[in-house]
Chain A
Amino acid sequence: MDHQKLFDQLRERFGDDVRALVVETIDPWIEVSAERLEDVCRLLKNDAAWQFNLLNCITAVDYFEPDAKKAAKVDWKPHVQMLYHLSSTTLKHTVVIKVRLPRWKDDVAGQLPEVASVSGIWRTADWHEREVYDLMGVMFVGHPDLRRILCPEDWEGYPLRKDYVMPLEYHGIRNR
């Protein structure tokens, strides 16, 4: 599939909100801004030339190094990266959409970063976004039923964050 053509089309439509295209990696990806993600996704699904009707997976990756010594060596600033793996069952091609989010909203610890929910576009996103919210602590604005899915509802913290500390006990059950 011609990722450059897709990128040019998105760029023309959404301008600088479509930030970058990288094709040298194993899976080519396009980075878009958190504000226009929903519009970009809607176009990807509905445009007859692309028809990305299948959302394979939503992933969040926490880029944060708790160890100060190691943190000095890394080449990125702390952030949370969202990845949307899309494919088309009709045209049989795939693309990865990336969104960069701050680790905490307005850099206030405990305030979850926000991104628009795509559950109105692909229903797969419903459970996947709940899972990301549960384990990584990302707030999906517009999600119909955002609550924890794998952890108990009263669980504290977001286990997949790199600075997560397992609570000592949960309802009297020792964890460590």
Chain B
Amino acid sequence: MASHLGDPRVVEFDVRTDEMLINMGPQHPSTHGVLRLALRTDGEIVSEATPHIGYLHRCAEKIGENLSHRQYIPYTDRMDYLAAMNMNLGWALVVEKLLKHEVPERGRHLRVLMAELNRIASHLVAMGTYGLDLGSFTPFLYAFRERERILDLFEEVCGARLTYSYITPGGATGDLTEGWLEKCEAFLDQLAPVIEEYHTLLTSNAVFIRRTAGIGVLSAEMAIDYGTSGPVLRGSGVDYDLRRDGDPWYTGLYRDYKYEVIVQKDGHYPKDRDYPPVPAEAVLGDSWHRFYVRMLEVVQSVELVRQAMERYRAAKGDCGAPLKLTQRLPKGEAYLETEAPRGQMGFFLVADGNAIPWRVRVRSSSFCNLSITHEVCRGCLIADVPAVIGSLDIVMGEIDR
């Protein structure tokens, strides 16, 4: 050994400063499921992040070619399992679009009610787990406390707590139970003041701001170019929400609802005076803004649920009966995107005249949202990678399908 000491090349070899390859996942707790990231790092700085997906791949599209449209509903549950109502809704609407089948007025409000309630539950998990990613355990418990109440409400209506299969082509599997609306109202009354607590815990928390503001900045052009959607797109300041701008078959659901797209315009969020102010460190398109959009959407959804309940009460008639299992689909194809909590969830259906579709295609929102990883993680610290991934709020079941 001693003889090498004089040779500078040996020292260079011993204290190498060249690139290192770090494997993150697929069992890493802060990659939200089975996502594997191959990080190429230079010291603490990430120079390249390559996501590897497919660990949860079940080829749901192929399964769809072997089942009738109604039998496919449980498979949509298992894609985005945190927002199964929204997934059911997306599939139900595309089948109805192909059949040109309209659900009764009461069914329409029921769907808005369920979709928005599920959006709240999904955003609560997003918020809670984001806190976990950043090393704060408390918000997670708070979020699950409220989410539990929503799951109880869903359980009462359809018997399931996670995979509902409730909204089906033609309507829903059943009407609301007696006294459900009162329970829902009680929950909303309880939720409204609690949101303040979340803001204290995370949104305006100094540590949280330091960890998220200015991290993983995604420009508006890049957000559109990569096809991102939902809070990720709106967090970059793009004024686009399918509930307002989407296909008439979908926007018809929200006809005559009072609704404002949550996006920063001219430096202000709608109704922003009621909320903690945007910190000076935050840049439009960073992780903090993506999180903030989600939090404001919770408040928005609470209002939408209230409107839906009011309209549901006023509407006469039934909610629409599920279509028959053997209902033949007319020859043709239909594509429909809906605004799920994670973004634009698209279903494409080709039918050849049988009850079983010829081809099913699922356009996943998280899939596109995740594809920006290598762009936004370049040049950030290893410790910031979970902060960026968490702010995208991905669900692997939906990405891998």
Contacts and interface: CB of A to CB of B under 8 A. Distances in A.
Interface string A51-63: 0011111010110
A167 B157 CA distance: 42
Contact of A127 (B247, B346, B368): B368
Contacts of A94: 247
A134 to B, nearest CB: 9
Interface string B184-225: 000000000000000000000000000000000000001011
Contacts of B346: 56-57, 85
B350 interface: yes
Interface string B53-67: 110010101100000
A26 B358 CA distance: 17
A21 interface: no
B61 A126 contact: no
Given A89-B238, A122-B225, A159-B59, A56 B363 contact: yes
B350 A124 contact: no
A124 B331 CA distance: 29
A160 B392 CA distance: 29
Interface residues of A, number: 31
Contacts, number: 83
Contacts of A122: 225, 227
A84 B348 CA distance: 11
B350 to A, nearest CB: 6
Nearest to B94: A26
A127 B62 contact: no
Contact of B54 (A26, A126, A152, A160): A152
B335 interface: yes
A30 B363 CA distance: 21
A54 B220 CA distance: 12
Interface in B320-365: 332-335, 337, 344, 346, 348, 350, 358-359, 361, 363
A160 B62 contact: yes
B344 A26 contact: no
Contacts of B142: none
B227 A56 contact: yes
B240 interface: yes
Given A59-B361, A123-B371, A25 B53 contact: no
A122 B368 CA distance: 12
A83 B401 CA distance: 20
B282 interface: no
Interface in A82-100: 83, 85, 89, 92, 94, 96
Contacts of A124: 225-227, 368, 371
Contact of B333 (A26, A126, A127): A26
Contacts of A55: 227
Interface string A149-163: 111100000011000
B333 A25 contact: yes
B224 A149 contact: no
The 5 closest A-B pairs by CB, nearest first: A124-B227, A57-B363, A150-B54, A150-B57, A59-B361
18 contacts: A26-B97, A27-B335, A54-B227, A56-B227, A56-B337, A57-B348, A57-B363, A59-B359, A61-B350, A61-B359, A62-B359, A85-B363, A123-B225, A123-B371, A127-B368, A135-B59, A148-B54, A160-B62
